[in-house]
Amino acid sequence: MPLTPEEQPSGALPDNSAPSSAHSESPSPLATGRALILLQLVSRALTFILNQGLVRHAPPAVFGTAAIQFDLVAATILFLSREGLRNAVLRSSSSTISIWAFRLGLGVTLATVTLYLATAPPSTVAQPHFHLSLALYVAGALLELLAEPLYIRATRGDLKVRVAAEGGQAAVRTLLSFALLVLLPYLGDSEGRGALLGLAMGYCAGSTWLAGKYLWAYGGAAALPDLFLAKEKGEGEAETCRLAIAGTRQSVVKHLLTEADRIAVGYISPLGDQGGYAIAINYGSLIARIVFQPLEETLRLHWSRSLTGPATLPLLALAVRASLHLLLLFPVFLPPLLPSILPLLLPRKYAAETNAAGTLQTYLTAYLPLLSLNGILESFHAASATPAQVSEQAWVMGGSSVTFVLALWRLSGMAWFTREQALIYASCAAMLVRIGYAGLHAIRFTRTGTGTRIAALAVLPRPAVVAAVGVAGMVTWAAAAQLGEGMRDTIALLAVGAVAGVSVLGTIFVVERTVVLHLAALLKAKAE
């Protein structure tokens, strides 16, 4: 599920620049996008390496516990404690309330850990070093919340610090976790009993690096009081508080929707199948983290600063249309090509003992394109919604939750779906509800805010692109049907798919080139 932020400088921490110059000193949206994509590319590549080491050095049960359950506990603490506050603070010139994240996090941690321990199966709790490992994950999450005011400052005007902090976090977590996994047999632990503890130590060490880097960059020990003590309220603080409260209420429902699949798979699937589900989702989310998340952050940053500018409508239309291209490309090209590369992605024990292969294909073809579209539309909503509209969206989130439950109940009874695939399709159904609401909000806003209505044809893929996808898809599917499973045939099929894909991307480039150049000119004119 998509993550969102916006950006401007922090008034809660020492700064040499006046608040009035915040926006002028902030990086451009294009520079922000490049930095965030680079950050995600590095961090996700390191996470990918870590996961590859884990699946080869730890049993599926350990992978399932760490990647599904412990990561879910940490994500719950972080998301519920800071998401609503972050969205509100990044839309204002004040950041006083960013210190609430840690305070709120203490209560969220107590509730989350209590609920998790009360409902965790005995087989999970009985794993070696379970409680100590959980405590390290929780400590890491709280360290991140403590550094939230410094994150706000870095995001608004000092992306180099954020890149160093988050990139270093991923590197430290990866290197330490991987080293401990590799060293276990040499330390007399040939069965991997300490694997869970090693992963937890890596997670906590990465969070320690993150908090330490932010502190070092913004004054060291001198910055500590600003992490706990609020300064005087600034202009617009009341409005920011209302947005934060509304956003935090909404984040509870949003998090349940975002993590519904991991919550459900944690209770309906054995630990081994949880490991298979986790590795499939980690592969699928690689694209989401590297491309979608930085794109959403960049778009929200731009829209939060320039909602009524001339580039708002063209940028929204282009972003939605690009996302709809994925709805064409992924279902057409992935099913015939993915089986050829699965042996490179999945270790034999995961391919043979879990449902990872089917789960990965379903995630890529159905969930990922919708995730992209939802992220773009909700980024626009986050940047443009009033407190009343944020509260209204919370009701839509509730309806989306009901949709998920009903869809999961219906799909779980169908024999041709695995439990993991049913979870993904139910998540897709729930996401469509959110997409519908966010899309209507965008239409209403552009009509009232800019006086221009978005036409359906402006966001749909061009006919030339649809035709190119159709022809290239037929060629790829025909090749997959005729070629065998040998190495030579596999290489031939991948070559056909590559040529077909490049031809489609070339068509998109030709069709969209004028639009992109015009939009770039508008953005450049605004920056000047």
pLDDT at 31: 63
**Does the pLDDT at position 388 exceed 90?**
no
- 264 assigned to some structural domain: no
Tell which residue, 407, 428, 458, 437, has the closest CA to residue 331.
Answer: 428
The domain in which residue 138 lies consists of 63-258
CA 484 – CA 518 distance, rounded (Å): 46
Task: Indicate the pLDDT class of residue 527, thresholds 50, 70 and 90.
Answer: low
CA 181 – CA 522 distance, rounded (Å): 51
Tell which residue, 81, 208, 99, 209, has the closest CA to residue 153.
Answer: 99
Q: What are 301's two structure tokens? A: 């940053």
- 508 assigned to some structural domain: no
Alpha helices in 22-99 (DSSP H): 22-25, 29-57, 60-64, 71-89
Residue 18, phi-psi category: left (phi > 0), alpha (psi -120 to 50), beta (remainder): beta
- 115 assigned to some structural domain: yes
Tally the domains of the chain: 1
pLDDT at 206: 94
CA 355 – CA 246 distance, rounded (Å): 39
Tens of pLDDT, residue by residue over 89-138, are 766 655 566 678 888 889 999 999 999 999 888 888 988 999 999 999 99
- 487 assigned to some structural domain: no
pLDDT at 506: 95
Task: Indicate the pLDDT class of residue 526, thresholds 50, 70 and 90.
Answer: low
For residue 225, the 8-state DSSP code is G
How much of the chain exceeds pLDDT 70, in percent? 81
* CA–CA–CA angle 33, 38, 42 (5° rounding): 150
Tens of pLDDT, residue by residue over 156-210, are 777 788 888 988 898 898 889 888 888 877 777 766 678 889 889 999 999 999 9
Is residue 14 within 8 Å of 386, Cβ to Cβ? no
CA 298 – CA 98 distance, rounded (Å): 21
pLDDT at 15: 37
pLDDT at 16: 34
Tens of pLDDT, residue by residue over 298-317, are 788 778 777 777 777 888 88
- 124 assigned to some structural domain: yes
- 26 assigned to some structural domain: no
- 128 assigned to some structural domain: yes
Task: Indicate the pLDDT class of residue 40, thresholds 50, 70 and 90.
Answer: low
Query: Model-level pTM?
Result: 0.69
- 176 assigned to some structural domain: yes
CA 149 – CA 329 distance, rounded (Å): 40
Q: How far is CA 426 from the centre of its chain?
A: 19
